[in-house]
Amino acid sequence: MNETQVKTAVITGAAGGIGKELARRLAERKLNLVLVDLKEEAIQQVIQELGLNDSNSLAVAADVSKEEDVQNYVNKAVEKFGTIDYFANNAGIEGPAGLLEEQSVKALDLVYNVNVRGVFLGLHYVIPVMKQQKSGAILNTSSLAGLMGAPGMAPYIMSKHAVIGLTRVAANELAPLGIRVNAVLPGTINTRMMRQIEQNSGSPDEYKKANESATPLGRYGEPEEVAAVMNFLLSDEASFVTASLYTVDGGMVGQ
């Protein structure tokens, strides 16, 4: 494709806190956007809020843990816009709180299906499109929970470690073609997910305060601040960046 052609980005979890802010950044660059999330209405709200329209956006309701849904969002993106230049493999769930002996196999499967199987399936179906184009950049959303252990969220922490493994495999497989694959690792970010994790802790206010004081910058991050880094990684500005892990955590992991 030549430089004047409009590029296309696919974002999963696009109706969520971080996904929506990434969509906003990519829309400012006038990319075509394929927005994927569980519910069509939630995606339509994002389309409306960002002032997108039928010619520059496509809403695809999909459960990223279902193979046929992933195949469908990839096919729909290619049918409508012809290419997938950027892929934000971002949808994720937190799962329940509880010590290892309290976590059920059901909870493990639930979290793994979305956070690991979903990310794997996204890669599995997007990579052939990018290989055919001989171009593209992929960004998986891991977490600080992909680098650190903490009590009480084993399925989530395991799943986000797995996303780092997937990122490294994909980056190594695709580097010979010039296709870049990176991971963003948010810390504690002000979205629905952190509100739920605070609730799950049983004492939301104290949990929030403890998180804030464990963060060198002394506060939660905003989804816009994560989207800014994601926007960079999904651009030619990051042309020599692959197999990298970008923490956006207010300094937490660097202590």
156 is catalytic: yes
> 108 vs 177, which CB is nearer to ligand NAD?
108
What span, in angstroms and rounded, lies between the C-alpha atoms of 45 and 40?
9
Closest chain position to ligand NAD (CB):
16
Q: Which of 86, 112, 125, 156 is catalytic?
A: 156
> 136 vs 186, which CB is nearer to ligand NAD?
186
CB of 165 to ligand NAD, least distance (A): 15
> Residue 103: exposed, middle, or buried by beta-carbon count in 10 A (0-12, 13-18, 19+)?
buried
CB of 178 to ligand NAD, least distance (A): 26
Contact (Cβ atoms closer than 8 angstroms) between residue 184 and residue 160: no
Residue corresponding to tokens 């006038």: 30
Contact (Cβ atoms closer than 8 angstroms) between residue 143 and residue 185: yes
The string over 203-235, giving b where at least 16 C-beta atoms fall within 10 Å of a residue's C-beta and e elsewhere, is: eeeebbeebeeebeeeebbebbbbbebbbbbbb
Q: What count of Cα atoms within 13 Å lies in the side-chain half-sphere of residue 36? A: 28
The binding site for ligand NAD (CB under 6 A) comprises: 12-13, 15-19, 37-38, 62-65, 90-93, 114, 118, 141, 143, 186, 188-189, 191-194
CB of 120 to ligand NAD, least distance (A): 13
> Catalytic positions, please?
156
